[in-house]
Amino acid sequence: MVKKVLARESMEVRLNSLIRAILTVVTLSFATCILAADSLLTEYEESNFLRTETYQQTVDFCKGLADASQQLEYKSFGTSPEGRDLPLLLVNGTKKDFPLILIIAGIHSGEIDGKDAGLTFLRDVLISGKHKGLLDSVRVAFVPIFNVDGHERFSAYSRSNQRGPKEMGWRTTAQNLNLNRDWLKADSPEMRAMLRLIAELRPDFLADIHVTDGADYQYTITYNLGIHGNESNPIRLYNRDVFLPAIEAKMKESGYDFVPQVFLKSGPDPTSGWVNPVYEPRFSNGYGTVINRPFILIETHSLKDYHTRVTATYEFIKHTIEVIKQQFDDLKRAEVEADRLSSNLAGKSYHLSWDNTPDSVIVDFKGVEYRRHYSDILADSIVEWVGKPKDYRVPYFAGSHPLDTIVVPYAYIIPPAWFALLKDALEAHDLQIKFLTKPIQLSIETYRFDNVTFAKRPYEGRFRPSFSRKKEVRTETYPAGSAVISLNQPRSQISIHLFEPDGSDSFIQWGFMNQIFEQKEYAEAYVMDTLAARMLKENPALKAEFQSKLKTDTIFAKTASERLQFFYQHSLYWDERKDLYPIGRVVDQKEYERLLHLVTNSK
């Protein structure tokens, strides 16, 4: 009996000690959180909203947040060309059933409002206890600076038309690439890292935060989100009918008119028309259309002060999380249906490009008065914003129509030599790629190009060609190791835009394959003179074409090299693969099924 009592008393002592230890840890943790909330102030706040953090200050702040909150994880998702880590904060990262919102700041690192809005928001919720419960049952991935090298080109002379912060980063990367033209071609290591992150996280909703250029008006924050026909219909309807009404209402409650991005049809004159453009997939919000996810572009107004812009962005982030949590079932249904439709495009018509229609409706526009004066220095009439609010009634152009249409093949097949040139971009996009295990002779469609010219200056480091093209049906032998990309996958639209030459962001239009337009072999005059005489004698049609060209083309008639080239092009020595697109379109279902028997998931 005595032993039982002693044992019970010993158990009570141990239990009391455990309770005291737990209370001590809780008390210390609470005290640490209070201390962190007081000490974790951004440079933006400590400078009275006039400055923003350097890269290192940003990374240190992110790590401090992660140390102070068990819900938050700091990690790097890649490395820049100058060796800087690409920072990421991930809220509730292990909760796979929660909706995931990816928020990207600093893709143009002079336009840095999103960084300070996101950092202060996460600190307020996770450390200071504001907006209680807002980050429960949701995942948030926040990239405070995407263009990290450009961010450290830190200067007061980055953006001449932007009011604050006092110093900011540069628009482009250390390689002088604009990341918001790189979403599809993925030339930059930063973008390839971002695409791999998106493939890993599979976000349900994405936001890309910018600051405007251009006109003055009363709105503090504007957006562009896909509501045109180039989106998969389930996503378009979700954006238009579900998300936008909810976010516009919540922003209105916070005191903001949340309106479409302001593009004026003609210069600064709002009466010329307000345009809602259709974005190509080289842009972030255009990229959303080809991955079947809402991807909203945010533009705060550069002529508002920095504090005003950051505050509006903060409210947008807060309300977006509220809306996505409330609407997640609707969004998930739209995603699933859009992915299903994208996996069943083979044999169907698909519109590669879109533009605005000339139709418009009259809407209210909260503008600003302006006047023009003539500049002797610039020898032109220039705008001077008066700063006085003025409301207008203006035409609004939001309609769209398709420009180019193709019939989707069952697959694209890429010979190994060409796949090696495209590999980095294709793998970053997380496309399902299979490889031939043995050679195959296959009937395919491809294109022959003509009237090829090149831009006079580079765009994003590449000389883009212009051309006309004709479709060719050919029988080609593809070696083992050739890549096969089937169109029965959710990301099929990425493949279509990359491989169809008429797509404005296709590999061919971005100059990835300019070498196919080059003549590599030539003929000597002493050879072609004898050969041409025989060709004229044996081929009456060629003789008639030659004589007609002599009569109608004076340059040809007078130029020996032009005449030589004519006969060389019509001879058996001519390179018949010049101007031939090396990517095959598998359009016959039986050929596609035959192909599938010879592919594997890895080389």
3-state secondary structure 369-387: EEEEEEECCCCEEEEEEEE
Cα separation, 105 vs 115, whole angstroms? 5
Identity (one letter) of the amino acid at 254? Answer: S
Going from the C-alpha of 50 to that of each of 109, 146, 294, 436, the distances in angstroms are: 16, 21, 32, 58
Give the bridge partners for 174, in sequence order.
none
- Separation of alpha carbons 523 and 529, rounded Å: 10
What pLDDT score was predicted for residue 425?
96
Beta strand 263-266 with 269-275 is antiparallel
Give the span between the Cα atoms of 339 and 183, in whole angstroms. 19
CATH 3.40.630.10 occupies which residues in the chain? Answer: 43-342
**Is the Cβ–Cβ distance between 343 and 256 less than 8 Å?**
no
Task: State how far the Cα of 568 lies from the Cα of 525, in Å rounded to an integer.
Answer: 10
pLDDT of res. 602: 74
Helix (H/G/I), strand (E/B), else coil: 110: coil
- Whole-number pLDDT of residue 267: 80
Which CATH number is 43-342's, of 3.40.720.10, 3.40.630.10, 3.40.640.10, 3.40.50.700?
Answer: 3.40.630.10
Cα distance from N-terminal residue to C-terminal residue, the chain: 76
Q: Is the peptide bond before 409 cis (omega within 30 degrees of 0)?
A: no
Name which of 249, 254, 261, 252 is nearest 217 in CA terms. 261
Strand partners, 222: 259, 299
Q: Tell me how far apart the alpha carbons of residues 543 and 371 are, in angstroms, rounded to a whole number.
A: 67
Long-range contacts of 268-271 (CB under 8 A, 24+ apart): 268/214, 268/215, 268/216, 268/370, 268/383, 268/385, 270/215, 270/217, 270/365, 270/367, 270/392, 270/394, 271/392, 271/394
Q: What angle do CA 537, 543, 544 make, to 5 degrees?
A: 145
Is the Cβ–Cβ distance between 412 and 584 less than 8 Å? yes
User: Cα angle vertex 300, ends 296, 301, to 5°?
Assistant: 140
Q: What is the pLDDT of residue 39?
A: 64
Q: What is the radius of gyration, based on Cα positions, of the chain?
A: 30
pLDDT in tens, 196-249: 999 999 999 999 999 999 899 999 999 999 999 899 999 999 999 999 999 999
pTM above 0.75, yes or no: yes
SS3 133: coil
What backbone phi and psi angles, to 5 degrees, belong to 405?
Answer: -130, 135
Pairing between strand 295-300 and 221-224? Answer: antiparallel
Helices within 345-444 (DSSP H only):
416-428
* CA-to-CA separations, 414 to 432, 461, 477, 486, 526, in angstroms, rounded: 14, 24, 11, 11, 39
Phi and psi dihedrals of 85, rounded to 5?
A: -70, 145
Classify 406 as helix, strand or coil. Answer: strand
Instruction: Give the model's pLDDT for residue 269.
Output: 87
What residue ranges of the chain have pLDDT lower than 50? Answer: 1-15, 18-37
